[in-house]
């Protein structure tokens, strides 16, 4: 158990809909990262927040957004969903502020299916 | 820019024989390198990491990896495979320059199959 929790575990929705994925980092970790794992794209970094502020963006679509709240939990919002958004979405946390040398601890993921 | 190439999409070995999973990287700065493992329907777990200290890195479950700058490689090895090692393995690079994104760049993964 990494200490990172993600809800829900599974999500099934229809095209055009909007969903919110939730992540609670390990106790004391200030950085939260979101990743998408799909069969065709593999594992891709989406976005990072550090202590409530957006720190870095990866391959995140404009239809997707995220935020980190004062209690450090984070939400990833996916809107105008398309079939191709079906994937496993991971959240990770770390104590790192920069450099990427610290281990990132991954949650169990949310499996999103868009029908 | 950084990238990772895992040279084999699938590796099959017999239980009790050595494991070699190959990884080459490209990074503009001094990289941090990681190997993560993903068991079926599970999240990712860190096996080991290299962050510019010793070039031979020992990880959990008997795995180790050697950082070779001249070859830009970070291959993962284990002397004797166990059935429980069957999983997907990801080689990962992070730009440790300190000024950029902390997001990790993942390889495509190597599926390790252990034959009884």
pLDDT the model gives residue B101:
54
CA B47 from chain center: how many Å?
8
> B72 and B25 in contact (C-beta within 8 Å)?
yes
What pLDDT shows up at residue B53? 73
Q: Give the span between the Cα atoms of B96 and B31, in whole angstroms.
A: 6
Q: Work out the number of other CB atoms within 10 angstroms of the CB of residue B114.
A: 19
Task: DSSP letter for B29, please.
Answer: S
CA atoms within 13 A on the CB side of B64: 10
Using alpha carbons, list the distances in angstroms from residue A52 to A22, A32, A59, A66, A90. 15, 9, 20, 10, 18
Q: B5 to chain A nearest CA, in Å?
A: 12
Best residue of B53, B103, B109 to probe chain A, by most A CBs closer than 10 Å: B103
Give the span between the Cα atoms of B33 and A73, in whole angstroms.
27
Mutate to test the interface with B, among A101, A106, A109, A111 (most CBs of B within 10 A): A101
Give the one of A47, A99, A106 whose C-beta lies nearest to B43's C-beta: A106
Coil, helix or strand at residue A114: strand
pLDDT at B94: 82
Mean pLDDT by 10 residues, chain A (115 residues): 93 97 95 92 90 90 96 97 96 72 86 97
pLDDT tens, position by position, for chain B (116 residues)? 788 999 999 999 999 999 999 999 988 777 889 999 999 878 899 999 988 778 899 999 999 999 998 999 999 999 999 999 999 999 998 865 444 455 688 999 999 999 99
The two structure tokens encoding residue B51: 């962050």
Which pLDDT score is estimated for A99?
44
CB-based burial, B36-69: b 16+ in 10 Å, e otherwise: bbbeeeebbbbbbbbbeeeeebebeeebbbebee
């Amino acid at each position: 158990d990494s200490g990172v929790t993600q809800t829900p575990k599974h999500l099934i929705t229809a095209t055009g809909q909007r969903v919110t994925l939730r992540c609670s980092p390990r106790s004391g970790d200030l950085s939260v990262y979101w990743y998408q794992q799909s069969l065709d794209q593999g594992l891709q970094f989406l976005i990072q927040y550090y202590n409530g502020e957006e720190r870095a963006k990866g391959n995140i679509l404009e239809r997707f957004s995220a935020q980190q709240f004062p209690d450090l939990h984070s939400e990833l919002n996916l809107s105008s969903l398309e079939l191709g958004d079906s994937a496993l979405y991971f959240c990770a946390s770390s104590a790192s502020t920069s450099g990427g040398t610290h281990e990132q601890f991954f949650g169990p993921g949310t499996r999103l299916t868009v029908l | 820019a950084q990238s990772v190439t895992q040279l084999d999409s699938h590796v099959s070995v017999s239980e009790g024989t050595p494991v070699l999973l190959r990884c080459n990287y490209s990074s503009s700065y001094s990289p941090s390198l990681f190997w993560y493992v993903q068991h079926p329907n599970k999240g990712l777990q860190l096996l080991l990491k290299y962050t510019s200290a010793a070039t031979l890195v020992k990880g959990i479950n008997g795995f180790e990896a050697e950082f070779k700058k001249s070859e830009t490689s970070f291959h993962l090895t284990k002397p004797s495979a166990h059935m429980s090692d069957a999983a997907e393995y990801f080689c990962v690079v992070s730009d440790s320059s300190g000024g950029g994104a902390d997001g990790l760049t993942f390889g495509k993964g190597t599926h390790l199959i252990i034959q009884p």
